[in-house]
Chain A
Amino acid sequence: MSVLDIKNIHIDFPTSKGVVHAVTDVTLSIEKGRRIGFIGESGSGKTTTALAAMRMLANPGFVAGGEVHLNSLDGDTNVLHLDDEQMRRVRLRKISYIPQGAMNSLNPVMRVDAQIWDAVVAHEGGLSQADLQARSDTALDGVGLDPKVVGRLFPHELSGGMKQRVCIAIGTCLTPDLIIADEPTSALDVITQRHVMQTLREMQEKIGAGLILIGHDMGLMAQSVDDIAVLKKGVLVEFGPVRKIIEDAEHPYTRELIASVPLVGGDSFLSAQASPPKGERLDKPLLELDGVSKQYGAVTALHPMSFALDGEEPKIISIVGQSGSGKSTMGSLMLGFNDPSAGQVRFKGDDINAMSAGAKLAFRKQVQAVFQDPYACFNPFYRVNHALKFPYENFGMGGDVQTAMEEACTAVGLDPSLVLGRYPHQLSGGQRQRLIVARALMLSPKLLIADEPVSMVDASLRATILANIHDLKDKHGISIIYITHDLATAYHVSDYVMVLYHGHVVEAGPPKEVIGDPQHAYTRLLIDSIPWPDLDRDWGDADDARAALDELARIGGTPETVYRGDIPGFTLGQG
């Protein structure tokens, strides 16, 4: 029997530019105990459709037509006909919602068990303290948290994964008919993601509820759901069992989504270049880290590290790790935004933190960066040209700025007439990130630091932007430090990979060895935790994930570096 039937639903958002039909004529049913994945890019209407079932649409959106039937309601089952009080009773008890950012959805001034009691009291009235305690203990126990300890903690005392599991505990404590999980793991790293998703699956199976999982990661969907609904621009383009969608998708958009997930060992999305141009020959290494470490108060973000990159033959060096591994700290140290606590960062033999103003300007010209957030990188006050034009003129590069901008845009696959002269908010995230790549290209630096350049870009565009960055090396002879948490892309683009864990390099070498055949326990764990869009490559169950986390805790102290071979032009200091 189906839990929820959505029939011909239309959702409109009146805006200043006219009415946006966010969702058009979507019909689907969610069976009891079945998991449905809603997949699509940002703005495709996946969250909007799911939220319409809870009547929690963001202003000014409204349901313009269609019906939503929650079959466990008495009498009239159409959710859209309920009044506010009836709707309040439905939320959480019949349909619960697990939000995207768990850090923002827990009340920061309440203990965890009190937040579960809140939910219970709101729907079942006053219970005795002992009953409430029993309820919260069961709920926390179900998601693998120790009720004696975690229940008495405040949200800020929990890690991201624990907070998300608390949200799952709240979402399942009233045994709802349907759970809506809105990208529940998007803020978590892969290892925690696996654990949280398995916890969610376990709880959902236990209470036999339907589950709507909203996401944009085909791999995560393949590992977690039974059916997939693919949405594009508010239209349901394909709906079917997961195996059929993954292995034999009918709609070209679905195939594109699946193809956009890079696989370790799969075909490369890059076209090989015969002979990359050589960089200049230098006596000293282009970039050299000499015993560099960084402490923030008592926390060591980066343990002493030494490497040298000679720029003669352009290379892409990947630095891979989870959040908190020290990889972004490395990036800002190399850019001179941050002083090292010990050691020196040298560019062509000069310490970058002891440069004169003139030398600093020359250093800036030769070392550029692409940052994670394409939305923040443009000053909202200026047209996007400003971001390209200003450095070009400031560095005193000869030639016509306009031509240089147009050439750079064309080189990264943007139509100059469409993007130049616009304001940043008029461009999509992908366009902005490409413009930043175009900016780097225009300045033709010797070294580019790319700090998570594609993690905030829609999946279908990631490969294109990475190809743009890869071209900087192949066609323009720029050496690149690629900082990422995504092993699959690092596998394809890089010449050398360093895996960072708690500020230590745990494994380093060419990508075929490090990622293709990991030796260190942490690298193996990272690779096992990636959700593959491959149904035959199972993710394991919650016990596996727990065992893996225990393993991680064991090696936590002082991990050993595993060296997996060298490449010419790059030397990692031993020890």
Chain B
Amino acid sequence: MSHDNAAAPETAAPDMTGITRKQLKRMRRFDNPWNNPKLIWGIGLLLGIVLLGVLGRFFWDPELVFTGAGMPRQGPVGIENLRGQVGTWAHPLGTDVSGKDILALLIVGAPNSLYVGVLASLIGMSIGIFLGFSAGYTGGRVDDVIRVSSDVMITIPPLLILVVVQASFGDITLTMMAILIAAFVWQSPTRLIRAQVLSMRESGYVQMARLSGASNMHIMFREMLPNLVPYLFGSFIANVTTSIVTAVGLEVLGLGPQRVPTLGRVIYDAISSAALTQNMWWWWGFPTILLGVMFIGLLLINLGLDEVSNPRLRKL
């Protein structure tokens, strides 16, 4: 018995003959899972929204979000409003009843909505990672308390509580709103991480690390956490989506920040000023489209990440 035996693969070697260039290109994509079209498109869409906020400030005047910035009730370029006025390039996407420029509202509002979602999700994930590891790794009483409380919290509809809280707060800042929403998005990452940690705790490499005299901190953050990264990413993106939906829901009810433009706030104003009966579709239409783009982007990222972490979903 020779020693080289261990190095030789037991399966027959792959044969590369008769493979077209196109097939080869697809195979390469398979090799680098991050090179995933869904992921790239999703990131592209979200980056587009961020760029809209950043570059928009240079090419368009953000001061136009204030009341009386232009003629009220103007349609987008070339579109006639009910008074027969045709929209001009002064307000390419039109204006609302008080003369606020819709394009400026989108440029300022879209990044704000995204900011609330990302911040709420970041806070929620941090809480989730901390509680999930504590519950899964420590076990016993700690686990019981964390598990029961996260299970209870999952059954409470967040909008119900948030409506009450925000209504009593009156005007709040974006950051405050993100913190409030974060109080309702930590449960699912907690459960997810707890379950993963429970199964990983018995795995061979964790036992090996214990044999190596590793501390609990080392085992949790150096051995386990890296293997959770795909789950964490997926959970993070899902949480951003939930947070944005919750934030927009509150804003459309008129409960969000009163002085800061957000996409939900624009839609609320449109509804309360009877934009639907005045046929001012551009007022609520453009923010809705932007929200749609945001959600599609997040969905694509999530699907892409799923394929990255689960090779079975990838197709040759």
Q: Is the CB of A381 within 8 A of B226?
A: yes
Q: Is the CB of A414 within 8 A of B227?
A: no
Which B-chain residue is minimally distant from A367 (CB atoms)?
A: B211
Is residue B19 contacting chain A, with contact meaning CB distance below 8 A? Answer: yes
CA distance A371 to B203 in the complex (A): 11
Scan residues 198-212 of chain B and give those whose CB is less than 8 A from a CB of chain A. Answer: 203-205, 207-212
- Chain A contributes a number of interface residues (CB within 8 A of B) equal to 59
Contact partner, B16, options A18, A234, A235, A260, Cβ 8 Å: A18
Which B-chain residue is minimally distant from A387 (CB atoms)?
A: B208
Is residue A376 contacting chain B, with contact meaning CB distance below 8 A? Answer: yes
Is residue A128 contacting chain B, with contact meaning CB distance below 8 A? Answer: no
Kindly supply a per-residue 1/0 record for chain A positions 412-453, scoring 1 wherever the CB is within 8 Å of any chain B CB and 0 otherwise. 011100100000000010110010100000000000000000
Q: Is the CB of A376 within 8 A of B6?
A: no
CA distance A297 to B97 in the complex (A): 74
CB-CB under 8 A from A259, the residues of chain B are 1
CA distance A347 to B204 in the complex (A): 24
Is residue A540 contacting chain B, with contact meaning CB distance below 8 A? Answer: no
Scan residues 247-287 of chain A and give those whose CB is less than 8 A from a CB of chain B. Answer: 256, 259-260
Q: Is the CB of A461 within 8 A of B5?
A: yes
Q: Is the CB of A377 within 8 A of B204?
A: yes
Kindly supply a per-residue 1/0 record for chain A positions 466-497, scoring 1 wherever the CB is within 8 Å of any chain B CB and 0 otherwise. 00000000000000000000000000000000
Q: Is the CB of A391 within 8 A of B9?
A: no
CB-CB under 8 A from A335, the residues of chain B are 211
Which B-chain residue is minimally distant from A15 (CB atoms)?
A: B14
Q: Is the CB of B213 within 8 A of A22?
A: no
Q: Known interface pairs A376-B204, A379-B205, A381-B226. Does A394 touch B212 (Cβ–Cβ under 8 Å)?
A: yes
CA distance A414 to B210 in the complex (A): 25
Say which one of A78-86, A195-203, A357-365, A501-509 lies at the interface with B: A357-365
Which A-chain residue is minimally distant from B203 (CB atoms)?
A: A376
Q: Is the CB of B1 within 8 A of A371?
A: no
Is residue A349 contacting chain B, with contact meaning CB distance below 8 A? Answer: no
Q: Is the CB of B227 within 8 A of A380?
A: yes
CB-CB under 8 A from B11, the residues of chain A are 20, 22, 43-44, 233-234
CB-CB under 8 A from A387, the residues of chain B are 205, 208
CA distance A60 to B14 in the complex (A): 14
Is residue A298 contacting chain B, with contact meaning CB distance below 8 A? Answer: no
Q: Is the CB of B5 within 8 A of A460?
A: yes
Which A-chain residue is minimally distant from B213 (CB atoms)?
A: A364
CB-CB under 8 A from A375, the residues of chain B are 204
Q: Is the CB of A464 within 8 A of B16?
A: no
- Distance of B27 from chain A, by nearest CB (Å): 5
Q: Is the CB of A371 within 8 A of B5?
A: no
Is residue B144 contacting chain A, with contact meaning CB distance below 8 A? Answer: no
CB-CB under 8 A from B6, the residues of chain A are 413-414, 428, 430-431, 434, 461, 464
Which B-chain residue is minimally distant from A431 (CB atoms)?
A: B6
Q: Is the CB of A43 within 8 A of B207?
A: no
Which A-chain residue is minimally distant from B23 (CB atoms)?
A: A14
Q: Is the CB of A16 within 8 A of B316?
A: yes
CB-CB under 8 A from B7, the residues of chain A are 414-415, 418, 428, 431
Is residue B141 contacting chain A, with contact meaning CB distance below 8 A? Answer: no
Which B-chain residue is minimally distant from A391 (CB atoms)?
A: B212
Is residue A322 contacting chain B, with contact meaning CB distance below 8 A? Answer: no
CA distance A233 to B19 in the complex (A): 22
CB-CB under 8 A from B1, the residues of chain A are 256, 259-260, 460, 463-464
Is residue A117 contacting chain B, with contact meaning CB distance below 8 A? Answer: no
Kindly supply a per-residue 1/0 record for chain A positions 361-393, scoring 1 wherever the CB is within 8 Å of any chain B CB and 0 otherwise. 100110011010101111111100001001100
CB-CB under 8 A from B10, the residues of chain A are 41-44, 233, 428, 458
CA distance A444 to B275 in the complex (A): 79
Is residue B232 contacting chain A, with contact meaning CB distance below 8 A? Answer: no
CB-CB under 8 A from B3, the residues of chain A are 413-414, 464
Scan residues 310-368 of chain A and give those whose CB is less than 8 A from a CB of chain B. Answer: 335, 337, 360-361, 364-365, 368
Q: Known interface pairs A413-B3, A460-B1, A461-B5. Does A390 touch B212 (Cβ–Cβ under 8 Å)?
A: yes
Q: Is the CB of B5 within 8 A of A430?
A: yes
Q: Known interface pairs A16-B31, A463-B1. Does A21 touch B15 (Cβ–Cβ under 8 Å)?
A: yes
Which B-chain residue is minimally distant from A374 (CB atoms)?
A: B204
Kindly supply a per-residue 1/0 record for chain B positions 216-251, scoring 1 wherever the CB is within 8 Å of any chain A CB and 0 otherwise. 000000010011000000000000000000000000
CA distance A460 to B5 in the complex (A): 9
Q: Is the CB of B14 within 8 A of A18?
A: yes
Which B-chain residue is minimally distant from A389 (CB atoms)?
A: B212
Q: Is the CB of A337 within 8 A of B210?
A: yes
Is residue B214 contacting chain A, with contact meaning CB distance below 8 A? Answer: yes
Q: Is the CB of B15 within 8 A of A377?
A: no
Q: Is the CB of A233 within 8 A of B12?
A: yes
- Distance of B213 from chain A, by nearest CB (Å): 4
Q: Is the CB of A373 within 8 A of B212?
A: no
Is residue A24 contacting chain B, with contact meaning CB distance below 8 A? Answer: yes
Is residue A19 contacting chain B, with contact meaning CB distance below 8 A? Answer: yes
CA distance A365 to B210 in the complex (A): 11
Q: Is the CB of A361 within 8 A of B213?
A: yes
CA distance A24 to B16 in the complex (A): 16
18 contacts between A and B (CB under 8 A): A17-B14, A18-B14, A19-B19, A43-B11, A235-B12, A371-B207, A377-B207, A378-B205, A379-B227, A380-B205, A381-B227, A390-B214, A391-B212, A395-B213, A428-B6, A430-B6, A460-B5, A464-B5
Chain B residues in contact with chain A, CB under 8 A?
A: 1, 3, 5-7, 9-16, 18-19, 27, 30-31, 203-205, 207-214, 223, 226-227, 316
In the complex, the 10 A-B pairs of residues with the closest C-beta atoms, listed nearest first? A376-B204, A18-B14, A391-B212, A43-B11, A16-B30, A43-B10, A381-B226, A364-B213, A377-B204, A413-B3
Given contacts A382-B226, A464-B5, 17 further A-B pairs with CB under 8 A are A14-B316, A15-B14, A16-B27, A18-B16, A42-B10, A233-B12, A259-B1, A335-B211, A369-B207, A371-B207, A377-B204, A378-B208, A390-B212, A394-B213, A395-B212, A428-B6, A464-B3
